Amino acid sequence: MRTKFNIVGTAHDGRDAVRAVAVLKPDAVVLDIAMPGTNGLEAAREVRNLGLTPKRVFLTGLEDSDHEAAAHDLGAS
């Protein structure tokens, strides 16, 4: 089964990601935990605090159980 999706925006850092989510209101957002400025976890918290509820996918090259736990607390599975 193929899933179709459209990329509706990109961001260079966490602040841009929060702004983009607020304007575009996507169904899902992909965040790098270690993105510059506001990291992906902080950006996800800000998005949640705005009352927005896109699905969240976190990417990372780090092996850190604290990051994994924080991502899980923000709705990642």
Tell me the domains of the chain and their CATH numbers.
14-73 (3.40.50.2300)
- pLDDT tens digits for range 37-66: 899 999 999 999 999 999 999 888 877 778
Contact assessment for residue 26 and residue 45, using Cβ atoms and an 8 Å cutoff: no
* Average pLDDT taken over every residue of the chain: 89
74: which residues sit within 8 A by CB, 6+ positions away? 41, 44, 45, 48, 56, 58
Strand ranges, E, within the chain: 28-32, 55-59
pTM of the complete model:
0.81
Gap between the Cα atoms of 73 and 77, Å rounded = 9
